[in-house]
Structure 1
Amino acid sequence: MDTLGDNNYLGNDDDITSSQGSNTKTADLKMAVKTNLDYERRMADIIDFLPDATFGIDLSGKVIVWNRAAEEMTGVRADNILGKGDYEYAVPFYGTPRPMLIDLVLEPNQYWENTYTSIKRESNALIGENLCNSVDGDIFIWGKAAYLYDSMGRLTGAIESIRNITRRKMAEVNQAQELKKFQVLYDLAVAMSAEQTLDDNLQLIIKKSQELFLADSAFIALRDESRCQVYMQCLSGINTQAFKDMRFAFGVGIGGLIAETNQGYIIADYFTDQMISHEVDEIIANEGLVTTMAAPIQIGNNNLGVLYVANRSMRQFSQADLDALATIGNLAAVEITRKCFEEDLEQRNLDLAELNTIAAALSHKLIQAQEDERRHLARELHDDFGQTLTALKISLESILQDDGAPCTRLLQSIKIVEVALQGIRRLSLSLRPSILDDLGLDAALRWHLDNMTQIANLHTHYSTNLAGRRLPPILEISCFRIIQEALTNVVRHANAQSVLVELNLDDEQLQLLIQDDGAGFDVAAALNAAAHGRSLGLLGLQERVSLAGGIISITSSLDGSGTTIQVFFSQSLLSPQASG
């Protein structure tokens, strides 16, 4: 205020009248200055004890007041900031000089007003909220700026009060985030209760995760236990094909780490993080991802995969975010498990229905086969052995009635009896060859193959490493019947010229091979026909192998390359206890 004395308020000294008038004005001005100074001191005292951080600037933008609350809030003492301009007062709040509400109330600027999260004018005041960086870190502030007048009502600058509202804003943000999280979980629960595919529901999960965390991308990777790998299943916001096709072993990258530890992680910078391995860095770099958050998809301790969200910039995630992602991951695990159970149950039902159909067809065919066999035996006994024995009876009766020499008649009777015995022997061998019981499987197979060569004009080739070794009786008869039925099918249907039979035993299993050079057939079509009761041979062969505890493989086609049947019996079936 000392500058007031420099003004030429006194006019021309030679003008006495003017001089007297000036003296009066000077006295009035001195009184006004004193009054204004008193007003400014009182105002400064009041401002200094205000509970909110408050500061003022003059019309040139220099700080003229900086109260104790402002010192406490910013850590800047008043004597270090008073008199400074060029927006220096903004540095303690924003880390850099910039206009604040105190400037915008004096000189509006739309650009800087738009930097506030909220701002409004009330009469001559400007009120706003914003996020800024203080000495204590990022804080939310509320501010109110107004014009500053002197005691005479003249505009001398502006004043701004600032309040730290971080707790309130964080509570609002947390509440909004919780509401959003619950809404996402509710939407997912409702959507998953509808009839949708697993891929559709997983795609919904990553979309909602991306939306909830404002992430650039989200994706789900599932475990492949057979390969000890994790592979990408559903993705959103991913551009490169290499990323979509990515597979990595347990322990590799954040996904592989979670697959091993079952714990969620936040990776602030993927490429500098020392906790994870970096085998897939090139793929991650090409996609441009930097910050990642991932949580296990698990039920209990059963890990099914990993749920990720990722950003292409250094936007950080919080522990609360990770907890929310883990909750969504658990929901995904429930959905995956439920769908797997449903699919497994559906497949089991289909398998059971097919087995029931096969069992019914097999039962019917077996009963029919038994009846056919009984009919065959009855016919053989009646037409062959019955007639033979009848002739024998008549011949023997004639001996008693004829006075001639009985020797010739007796010889004829003996021949008839021999024929009957041969027929009975053939029938007995057909039902169960005694050579199998007496000499074992190797000898029985050689005998049967020799018969097939003579009867069916079929070239047979046989090899084995059993060298006369006996197997459990149940296994010997099973192998014999399997080969017997297979060769019968070859003769009836294959139009083959030759057949190879191999029987080999090693440390792990007994292997049986029947291979012909015939016309071949459509295996799938034949199995389907068997399931609907239109073919017994193939079905009976499978059933016999299954009942014996073995595994059968049938390979054939219609290209004339023949048919190969392989049967495997485990070593456990070769023990003496297995025969019991």
Structure 2
Amino acid sequence: MKKQRLMQILEGSKLGFWEWNVQSGDLLINDLWINILGYDLDEVKSDISSWVELVHHNDRNKLLKKINKLLKGESDLEFEEIEYRIQSKSGEWKWVSTRGKVIEKGDSGEVTVIAGTHSDITRRIKAEKQLKQINQELFALNTISQAMSRSNSLEDIASLLHSLFIETKAFPGGALYFNNIGETKIKRNMDWGLTKDILDFLPQLSVVSHYYEPQNDINLNAKIFQLINEIPSEINVEDYWKSCLAIPIISDQQMQGILFLFDTKYIEVNNHDQIFLKSIGQIIGVAYRKICLFEQVQDFSKQMQLLSQQLIYVQEQERKHLSRELHDQIGQLLTVLKINLQQINSQGYSEDNIEKSIDLVNNVLEDVKDLSFSLRPVLLDDLGLESALRWHLDKYAQHTGIHFNLNSNLGDIRFSSDLEISCYRIVQEAITNAIKHANPTKINIKIKYNNKHLKVLIQNDGQGFDVDLKLKEGVYQKSLGLIGMQERVALFGGELKIISSSLGDGTTVKVTFTVPPENKKRKGG
């Protein structure tokens, strides 16, 4: 009666009950004990060996040691809670907690009956493991984030990933690719464990550029292996690499690169794993973006330093030129004029001397006019951008033999003085660069305004060049014509595009300024 009541209490507490007769080997268990494993009572033999056979082989000795200590009298009459894995009917491993106690002994003091409880702790163990995993991942993300925040170069990022994935042997194969700054191609920054065929194939834009889809961020095994299997390689991918994870390197909602991780084991990536891997990609992306911005600031600083040096140099050259013009040209003409006037004063009136003096005065006036216009075109202030450019192009045509064509719809429309002089200097710089480096025969200039945008286009038929290379060279050399144009355009929030080809198709410079109607004016307005 007491035993039946005890069984009812145990069933109410959701605990399985077991009782083992040591001498006979019989095992008495209740429904809850066996239901934990998904069996019915008649499906399992009622002996201790059947129980032990279901225990995971790594946990079996742990359970037997506890029981043997009770049998040998090497411990108290009961053993503390022991946790182990036991196989259910479905094949799943369940975590259970077992307690036991000696409840009967023989006349000689030998243990005859041991009984105890049995409870399913699978959910608790899984929760503990998940919590532990989350804590480890948070610690890892924090460690990675701190290390990445100290990274000042792509080499620093590669070094950190080396310690994460290579030194720990977490993934036997992998590769890291980043988008080149200012380019559409991606570049491999590090790799390990992969053959050249795979490394050459991974960065194909057909794989990477269309890769980033929010609904399919990480696990690209099927897609990537379908493509990799097309590689004519001696390696049988299916027999060697079993899994490939592709982690997008994301910053500012843009894909900055991609990290491929290969494993020889099959890896299942659940939603939690995807969030963790995406977080790693985002941390790397933020670090990469910071490095890019740092390099841009460094380049900008170098540009500013060189532009300052160039400004001082140009000022000195202008002063030198002005001094030479005043001394060699105007000074000499005035000296001759002075001699003529002295002759007139000493020898009396001479019509020939008067004519020569008038010619000298005209030459002086023309030189002063040219000198003044070279410093700042008066026509620009008086008549506007179109008139000043036409005069400038006529002068260029006379001296170079190049055919110039100006197409403009400005008419009597005027803009701010600063904007007009910037447009004038941009055209002047583009023409000067073309004459110096491109050897053109024809240069076309178009200036159009549509009540919102002022567009300036300078096109020549000369030899082209690599625009990106020249802009980079301009940061480190004193060829600052293109950078000077960039600065003038940026000053007014405009857009500059330079299209050129080294194949001889010429060069086109396109400049666009946003100029609302209220910011323009008519001549005399």
On the 8 A contact 1:362/1:539 being kept in 2, the answer is no
On the 8 A contact 2:250/2:285 being kept in 1, the answer is no
The superposition leaves residues 470-491 of structure 1 with CA deviations (integer Å, 9 ceiling, x where unpaired) of: 3425444444444444444555
Distance apart, 1:390 and its partner CA = 0.5
Instruction: Tell me what 1:198 maps to.
Output: 157
Instruction: Tell me what 1:360 maps to.
Output: 308
Counterpart residue type for residue 424 of structure 1? L
Counterpart residue type for residue 40 of structure 2? P
Question: Is 1:350 the counterpart of 2:350 in the alignment?
Answer: no
The residue matched to 1:570 in structure 2 has which SS? Answer: strand
Question: Is 1:54 the counterpart of 2:18 in the alignment?
Answer: yes
In 1, the alpha carbon distance for the partners of 2:246 and 2:341 equals: 96
The superposition leaves residues 323-372 of structure 1 with CA deviations (integer Å, 9 ceiling, x where unpaired) of: x985786576456434533x145214412331232223222222212312
From 407, 431, 449, the equivalent of 1:464 is 407
Equivalent residues in 2 for 1:138-287, closer than 5 Å: 138=94, 140-142=96-98, 161-167=115-121, 175=128, 178-179=131-132, 181-183=134-136, 185-186=138-139, 189-190=142-143, 193-194=146-147, 197-198=156-157, 201=160, 245=207, 253-255=215-217, 283=223
The residue matched to 2:361 in structure 1 has which SS? Answer: helix
Instruction: Tell me what 2:514 maps to.
Output: 571
On the 8 A contact 2:87/2:94 being kept in 1, the answer is yes
In 2, the alpha carbon distance for the partners of 1:131 and 1:144 equals: 17
Question: Is 1:513 the counterpart of 2:444 in the alignment?
Answer: no
From 295, 312, 337, the equivalent of 1:389 is 337
Change (3 A) 1:326 1:204: farther
Equivalent residues in 2 for 1:282-361, closer than 5 Å: 283=223, 322=272, 333-334=282-283, 336-341=285-290, 343-361=291-309
From 455, 461, 470, the equivalent of 2:399 is 455
The superposition leaves residues 6-31 of structure 1 with CA deviations (integer Å, 9 ceiling, x where unpaired) of: xxxxxxxxxxxxxxxxxxxxxxxxxx
The residue matched to 1:91 in structure 2 has which SS? Answer: coil
Change (3 A) 1:175 1:540: closer
Distance apart, 1:566 and its partner CA = 0.8
On the 8 A contact 1:206/1:235 being kept in 2, the answer is no
TM-align CA RMSD:
6.5
**Larger gyration radius, structure 1 or structure 2:** 1
In 2, the alpha carbon distance for the partners of 1:563 and 1:48 equals: 96
Q: Which runs of 5+ in 1 are unaligned?
A: 1-41, 77-88, 227-232, 257-269, 271-279
The superposition leaves residues 46-88 of structure 1 with CA deviations (integer Å, 9 ceiling, x where unpaired) of: 9979967235689999x7x857xx2565579xxxxxxxxxxxx
Change (3 A) 1:549 1:496: same
On the 8 A contact 2:249/2:255 being kept in 1, the answer is yes
Counterpart residue type for residue 366 of structure 2? R
Change (3 A) 1:382 1:217: closer
Over the matched positions of the two proteins, sequence identity in percent amounts to 16
Counterpart residue type for residue 397 of structure 2? T
Counterpart residue type for residue 157 of structure 2? L
Question: Is 1:498 the counterpart of 2:441 in the alignment?
Answer: yes
Task: Name which structure has the greater RCO, CA cutoff 8 Å, separation 6+.
Answer: 2
Distance apart, 1:515 and its partner CA = 0.9
In 1, the alpha carbon distance for the partners of 2:434 and 2:259 equals: 56
The superposition leaves residues 92-143 of structure 1 with CA deviations (integer Å, 9 ceiling, x where unpaired) of: 37x95468525579xxx7x9783865431517959985435499x9561537
Counterpart residue type for residue 361 of structure 2? A
On the 8 A contact 1:296/1:303 being kept in 2, the answer is no
In 1, the alpha carbon distance for the partners of 2:329 and 2:367 equals: 12
Q: Which runs of 5+ in 2 are unaligned?
A: 11-15, 73-78, 183-188, 227-236, 239-244
In 2, the alpha carbon distance for the partners of 1:538 and 1:314 equals: 52
Counterpart residue type for residue 470 of structure 1? I
Query: TM-score w.r.t. structure 1 length?
Result: 0.56
On the 8 A contact 2:175/2:260 being kept in 1, the answer is yes
The residue matched to 2:63 in structure 1 has which SS? Answer: strand
The superposition leaves residues 407-454 of structure 1 with CA deviations (integer Å, 9 ceiling, x where unpaired) of: xx2463144224312431343145335555555444444444333333
Change (3 A) 1:199 1:386: same
Change (3 A) 1:502 1:203: same
In 2, the alpha carbon distance for the partners of 1:313 and 1:71 equals: 38
In 1, the alpha carbon distance for the partners of 2:520 and 2:304 equals: 31
